[in-house]
Amino acid sequence: MKAIISQTHPKSQRIKIKIPFEAFDWRIELKKIQCIFYHKPQKQWSVPNTEGNLKRLKVIFGKNFEIINNKGKLAIPAFEMTPHIANQVEAMMTKLVLIGREQSTIMTYRSEILHYFKEFEDKDLKVITKQEIEQYLFRLKDKHHISDSKQNQIINAIKFYQEKVLGLSRTIYDLTRPKKSKTLPGTLTEDEVFRLINQPTNIKHKAMLTILYSGGLRISEVTKLRIEDIKSDDKQIFIKAAKGKKDRYTLLSEETLRLLRTYFIEWRPSYWLFEGATGGQYSVSSIQKVFRKAAINANISPWATPHTLRHSFATHLLQANVNLRYIQQALGHESPDTTQIYTHIVSLNNDVVQSPLDRLLEKRKKETSRHEDETDKNIG
């Protein structure tokens, strides 16, 4: 009995897994993974394409799996961490914590720097040249087909270590980066959002999904909301120390406020707006599970994530002709260029711009109708 793990493309957002029908124990463990989805037509499962999920799949299947892809991509080999590498990792993580980086950033940097430490384990990292680093990145691209985003993450981790931990000059490590792809964010229609946020029967779950959309919040911002951050008199939500350690205010809708009041009476949180079973912050992973269950029941795109609600919030405001500057403030974007991307989604909406094919067919239809009217007059 063997599982097939398929990473079909380096940029693929999800890992696909096919298991034998009789693998009941594997199926139970797979269902515990966040944001898992079953593709009925293909009779296979998929999970978000992260290193953590890949490691978890390997633990579930033990030695009974095979990794395949359509590009001959070889997985970056795992290795046993030596005391020397462990000391370097600890020094880097200490610096990241001291300067106040988010936990997600700390774990990403840790993951991306490990293989670099292994690659140059026998060399003094203070004398590694730009050329050596770029040759290292080339080998990763050529042999393991790492994505552009992963390449950028590795560069960020290396630069941080060299500049902040070793104290080396920034100009020496001005590394070549791949051209940033200009992809449009995925969004949901208003009807899909309505179906999604009304799926949960648990009022706490419904309130979390509603506030994600109605305020355009990031999932981490929802977990950090305090009771005092709901400014009911001003119809605002205060977001403290959001991305970039910046405070901001966003919208508090009347309907969201009514829902939160009902939720508060029923659940009586003590400090955090949404608290876990032990009274601390509700976890990001728990909200992801709530979202995934609601998404499946609402029959919306399996690729949607909680962040899709934030993209939908911005897009729907633009469609309602809300000024881009207000949307930028609500989202907490430092640059208007970041918010500008939503205009590309709206500008291609069929309700705003008519396809030349529709215009052509409409013109032909009018000409045909006019010709028929003239014929009828002549006969009469």
Given this model, what pLDDT does residue 194 score?
Answer: 95
Residue 350 resides in a domain: no
Sign of the Cα torsion 329, 335, 338, 341 reads positive
Domain membership of residue 366 (yes or no) is: no
Distance CA 132, CA 129 (A): 5
Number of domains present in the structure of the chain: 3
User: Given 139, 173, 207, which residue is the final one in a domain?
Assistant: 173
The DSSP bridge pattern shows strands 14-18 and 3-6 to be: antiparallel
Q: Do 330 and 194 sit in the same domain of this protein?
A: yes
Contacts of 314 (CB under 8 A, 6+ apart): 216, 327, 330, 331, 339, 342
- Residue 199 is predicted with a pLDDT of 95
Q: Report DSSP letters for 11-61, one per residue.
A: T-SEEEEE--TT-HHHHHHHTTSTT-EEETTTTEEEEE--HHHHHHHHHHH
> Which candidate in 58, 95, 145, 307 is catalytic?
307
CA-to-CA distance for 377 and 380, rounded, in angstroms?
5
What per-residue confidence (pLDDT) applies to 355?
Answer: 60
Q: How many CB atoms lie within 10 A of CB 55?
A: 11
Residue 36, phi then psi, degrees to nearest 5: -80, 150
Annotated catalytic residue within 18, 58, 243, 289: 243
Q: Which of 16, 206, 248, 333 is catalytic?
A: 333
Catalytic annotation, pick one of 224, 310, 311, 316: 310
Whether residue 235 sits in one domain with residue 152: no
Beta-carbon contacts of residue 140 (< 8 Å; ≥ 6 apart) = 76, 115, 146, 151, 154
Any idea what DSSP says for residue 69?
A: -
We report the CATH number of the domain holding residue 205 as 1.10.443.10
| Residue type at position 356 | P
Catalytic site residue 307? yes
Are 55 and 107 within one domain? no
218 noted as active-site residue? yes
Tens-digit pLDDT profile for residues 251-286: 999 999 999 999 999 999 999 999 988 878 999 999
Which of 119, 143, 173 is a domain's end point? Answer: 173
User: Based on the domain organization, do 106 and 62 belong to the same domain?
Assistant: no
For residues 228 and 245, what is the distance between their CA atoms, to the nearest angstrom? 19
Domain check: are 217 and 295 in the same one?
yes
Neighbouring C-beta atoms of residue 188, cutoff 10 Å: 23
> Low-confidence residues of the chain, pLDDT below 70?
7-11, 69-75, 171-183, 347-355, 358-359, 372-380
| 102: in domain | yes
Catalytic residue among 161, 173, 213, 342: 342
- Is residue 90 domain-shared with residue 198, that is, in the same domain? no
Given 315, 334, 353, the domain boundary residue is 334
The pair of three-digit structure tokens given for residue 304, joined into one six-digit string: 């949607």
pLDDT tens for residues 35-68?
888 887 778 898 888 888 888 999 999 988 888 7
- The single residue of 16, 218, 248, 311 carrying the catalytic annotation is 218
Residue 113 is assigned to a structural domain of this protein = yes
The residue range of the domain holding 165 is 83-173
According to the model, what pLDDT value does residue 376 have?
Answer: 63
pLDDT in the model for residue 141 = 84
Q: Cα(first)–Cα(last) distance of the chain, in Å? A: 80
Residue 353 included in any domain: no
Whether 261 is catalytic: no
Phi/psi at 68 (nearest 5 deg)? -125, 160
Residue 261 is which amino acid?
R
Is residue 362 one of the residues assigned to a domain? no
Q: Is the pTM of this model over 0.75?
A: no
Asked if 8 and 70 count as a contact pair (C-beta separation under 8 A), the reply is: yes
Structure tokens at 32: 């515990």
Cα–Cα distance, 174 to 113 (Å, whole number): 17
Judgement on whether residues 60 and 110 belong to the same structural domain of the protein = no
Q: Whole-angstrom Cα distance, residue 334 to residue 328?
A: 8
| Residue 138, domain CATH | 1.10.150.130
| Within-domain flag for 347 | no
On whether residue 368 sits in a domain, the answer given is no
